[in-house]
Chains A and B, each alone.
Chain A
Amino acid sequence: MNRSLRRISIAVLVMFVLLLVNVNYLQGFDAANLASKPGNSRAFYAAQNQYQRGSIVTSDGKVIAASKLSSGNDSIKYQRYYPSGPEYAPVTGYYTIFGATGIEAAKNSLLSGNDSSLDVRKIIDLITGKTTKGATVQVTVNSKAQDAAWNALKAQGKPGAVVAIDPRNGQILALASYPSFDPNDLAIHDGAKLNKIDNRLLKDKAQPLLNRALQGTYPPGSTFKIVTSSALLTQSPSTTINTNVDSPTTLTLPQTQHILHNDQGEVCGDGSGQAPLITAFAQSCDTTFAKIGIRLGANALNDMAQKFGMNNADLTIPLPVAKSNYVIPASQALTAFSAIGQFSDTVTPLQEAMFAAAIANNGTLMKPNLVKQVTASDLSTVQATSQSELSQPVSPSVADSVKHLMLAVVQQQEGTAYAFRQDVTGVEIAGKTGTAETGEVSLNDAAFTSFAPFANPDIAVGVIIQGGGYGASAAAPIAVQVIKAYQQAVGNQ
Chain B
Amino acid sequence: MLVFAFALVAFALANVGFTLKGGLPGGAALYLAVYLAIVLLAHLAVRRFAPWADPLLLPLAALLNGLSIVMMDRLSAQVNPATGHPSISASQANLQIAFSAIGIGCFVAVLVLIREPRVLQRYTYTLGAVGILLVALPALLPASISEVYGAKIQIRFGSFTTIQPEEFAKLALAASFAGYLVAKRDVLALAGRRVLGIDLPRARDLGPILLAWAASLLLLIFESDIGTSAVFMGLFVAMLYIATSRTSWLLLGFLMFVVGAFAASRLVGHVHERFDIWLHPFTPANVQGNSFQLVQGLYGMGSGGLLGKGLGGGQPYITPLVQSDLVFTAFGEEIGLAGLMAILLIYGLIVQRGLRTAILVKDPFSKLLAGGLSFMLALQVFVIVGGVTRLIPLTGITTPFLSQGGSSLVGSWILIALLVRLSDTARRPPPRPIQEEGLTQVVTLN
A residues with a Cβ closer than 8 A to B are 1-9, 12-13, 15-16, 18-20, 22-24, 26-28, 30-35, 37-43, 45-46, 75, 97-98, 189-192, 195
Query: A4 with B241: in contact, given A19-B391, A37-B295, A190-B81 (CB under 8 Å)?
Result: yes
Contact with A along B348-369 (1 / 0, CB 8 A): 1001100100110000100110
Interface residues of B in 72-120 (CB under 8 A from A): 78-84
Closest residue of chain A to B367 (Cβ to Cβ) is A1
- Least Cβ–Cβ distance between B415 and chain A, in angstroms: 15
A191→B80 contact, CB < 8 A: yes
Q: Does B405 lie at the interface of the complex (its beta carbon under 8 Å from any beta carbon of A)?
A: no
Bound CA–CA A487/B242 (angstroms): 92
Chain B, range 261-319, C-beta contacts under 8 Å to A? 282, 284, 287-288, 292, 295-296, 298-306, 314-315, 318
Interface size class on chain B is 35 or more
Q: How close is B100's CB to chain A, nearest CB, in angstroms?
A: 25
Given A19-B381, A26-B301, A191-B83: A3 in contact with B389 (beta carbons within 8 A):
no
Q: Is B391's CB under 8 angstroms from A42's CB?
A: no
Cβ of B337 within 8 Å of any chain A Cβ, yes or no, is yes
State whether A23 touches B245 (Cβ < 8 A): no
Binds A, one of B35-43, B45-53, B122-130, B339-347: B339-347
- Chain B interface, >50% SS class: helix
B245 in contact with A3 (CB, 8 Å) = yes
Are the CB atoms of A195 and B352 closer together than 8 Å?
no
Please indicate the chain B residues that have their CB under 8 angstroms from the CB of A27 in the complex. 301-302, 304-306, 332, 336-337, 340
A3-B301 Cα distance, complex, nearest whole Å = 38
B303 touches A8 (CB 8 A): no
- In the complex formed, the residue of A with least CB distance to B240 is A4
Q: A5 and B341: CB pair below 8 A?
A: no
In the complex, what distance in Å separates the CA atom of A195 from the CA atom of B318? 15
The listed residue (B359, B378, B386, B389) touching A2 by CB distance below 8 A is B359
User: Interface readout for B234-252 with A: 1 if CB under 8 Å, 0 if not?
Assistant: 0000100111110000000
User: Is A23's CB under 8 angstroms from B332's CB?
Assistant: yes
Considering only CB atoms, which chain A residue lies closest to B84 in the complex?
A: A192
Contact B355 A8 (CB under 8 A): yes
> Top 7 nearest A-B pairs by Cβ distance?
A34-B302, A191-B81, A191-B82, A27-B337, A31-B302, A4-B245, A192-B84
Known contacts A15-B382, A24-B337, A42-B299; decide if A191 and B371 are in contact (CB<8 Å): no
Interface membership of B375, Cβ < 8 A = yes
Q: Are A12 and B355 within 8 A (Cβ)? A: yes
- Residues of chain B touching chain A, judged by Cβ–Cβ distance below 8 Å, are 78-84, 238, 241-245, 282, 284, 287-288, 292, 295-296, 298-306, 314-315, 318, 332, 336-337, 340-341, 344, 347-348, 351-352, 355, 358-359, 364, 367-368, 371, 374-375, 378-379, 381-382, 385-386, 389-391
User: Shortest CB–CB separation between residue B388 and chain A, in angstroms?
Assistant: 10
- Given A2-B359, A5-B371, decide whether A19 and B344 contact each other with a Cβ distance below 8 A: yes
Task: Report the Cα distance A43→B300, complex, angstroms.
Answer: 10
B83 touches A192 (CB 8 A): yes
Set of chain A residues within 8 Å of B375, measured between Cβ atoms? 8, 12
Residues of A within 8 A of B385 (CB): 19, 23
Is B302 within 8 A of A18, CB to CB? no
Chain A residues near B374 (CB, 8 Å)? 12
- Asked, given contacts A27-B336, A35-B302, whether A97 binds B245 with beta carbons under 8 Å apart, the answer is no
- Within the complex, what minimum Cβ distance (angstroms) separates A217 from chain B? 25
Do residues A34 and B299 form an inter-chain contact, with CB atoms below 8 A? Answer: yes
Contacts of B296 in A (CB 8 A): 39
Q: Which residues of A contact B302 (CB under 8 A)?
A: 26-27, 30-35, 40
Q: Are B299 and A40 in contact (CB under 8 A)?
A: yes
Report Cα–Cα, A46/B315, bound state, in Å: 10
Q: A2-B359, A23-B332, A191-B84 are in contact. Are A8 and B341 (CB under 8 A)?
A: no
Known: A1-B243, A4-B242, A189-B81. A16 touches B378 (CB 8 A): yes
Docked complex Cα distance between A12 and B304 (Å) = 27
Nearest-CB residue, chain B, relative to A37: B282
